[in-house]
Amino acid sequence: MSATTLLLPALMIAAVWFLAALDGALAGRAAGRPVGPAAAAVEPVRATVRLLVGQRRSTLAADGLLRWAGIVSLIVAAVLAAAVVPLGERPLVDLSVGVVWFNAMEVVAWAAVWLVGWGPNGALSLVGGYRFVAQGLSYELPHMFAIITAALAAGSLRITDIVDAQAGLWFVVLMPAAFVAYLLSAAAMAFWGPFDAPVARDTAGGAGSELAGVDRLLFAGGRRLLLVAAAAMAVPLFLGGGHGPWLPAWAWVLLKTAAVLVVLVWLRHRLPTIRMDRWAEISWIVLVPLTIVQALVVALVVLARGGM
């Protein structure tokens, strides 16, 4: 137990490094200035060191406590969300309500980003915070319908039960619309491109615009940890968890998680920022009905199979 407890954060940090390196490489390619793999691998380390030796910074009449509460809870929420993801056969904590737990942790990020945006007493920082709350309202409903569809097909909220139910058929085949909605919301919950309006360049970095030094490092790190947790959760929910030929379960989980991360990074550089004043409409008029219909279809399949 204790070994796994340490293993989870270590794995997540490794995944964040992989994510950052891949992001740097794809950013260079998209900008027409390709970066070599070695340079791409070093740059995240350099960025980390830079922020570690850099000075922290405070603004006038800032609320340091709230800012710290935001930064810390972003990281804690990401790690706790990942705690219910099976790394091989078993997760760190096999909760009977794993799906709900994951969802609850992910919503903690709303408060976290809002607090980080509020804390420094800066207008652009606050605009970033506002944007994330609006974003949450847009992505959350399709997201909840998507994850609940997976639970519905397995007849359980326990993540390991959901993985077991995919021994024959991965849920991505049974519920492709839910999977797509989940992938989009995974990017949105970590305010990762194309849903990066809360930290966008037009607001000079939005919610994180006033952070320097270790504050900035932890905020940026927490955001990537959250993306890693969301990508890892796609594996047990839709991609068959550890199921797969030849390789052991943990290797499949790692491979599939990496594959989801690659898709998310690719998507980020493929698309411009999607703003919520436009996306909310699509989300509520297209994605919500789509995921509801998806849930209905899956429910009928479950009934036809004689489940429930």
Residues lying near other proteins in the complex (CB under 8 A) are found at 27, 29-33, 35, 43, 46-47, 49-50, 52-61, 120-125, 127, 130-131, 193-194, 196-197, 200-205, 209-213, 216, 269, 271-275, 277-278
User: Which residue type occupies 231?
Assistant: A
| Residues 209 and 202: beta-carbon distance below 8 Å | no
Identity of the residue, 209 or 291, whose beta carbon is nearer to other proteins in the bound complex: 209
For residue 214, count CB atoms less than 10 angstroms from its CB and return exposed for 0-12, middle for 13-18, buried for 19 or more. Answer: middle
- For residue 200, the minimal CB distance to other proteins (Å) is 5
Identity of the residue, 220 or 231, whose beta carbon is nearer to other proteins in the bound complex: 220
Identity of the residue, 68 or 130, whose beta carbon is nearer to other proteins in the bound complex: 130
- From CA 31, how far away is CA 161, in angstroms rounded? 44
| Chain centroid to CA 223 | 8
Identity of the residue, 80 or 211, whose beta carbon is nearer to other proteins in the bound complex: 211
Identity of the residue, 166 or 185, whose beta carbon is nearer to other proteins in the bound complex: 185
- For residue 181, the minimal CB distance to other proteins (Å) is 17
- For residue 107, the minimal CB distance to other proteins (Å) is 22
CB neighbours of 148 closer than 8 A, spacing ≥ 6?
A: 99, 295
| Residues 184 and 139: beta-carbon distance below 8 Å | yes
- For residue 42, the minimal CB distance to other proteins (Å) is 9
- From CA 165, how far away is CA 182, in angstroms rounded? 19
- For residue 270, the minimal CB distance to other proteins (Å) is 9
- From CA 253, how far away is CA 258, in angstroms rounded? 9
Identity of the residue, 4 or 273, whose beta carbon is nearer to other proteins in the bound complex: 273
- For residue 150, the minimal CB distance to other proteins (Å) is 27
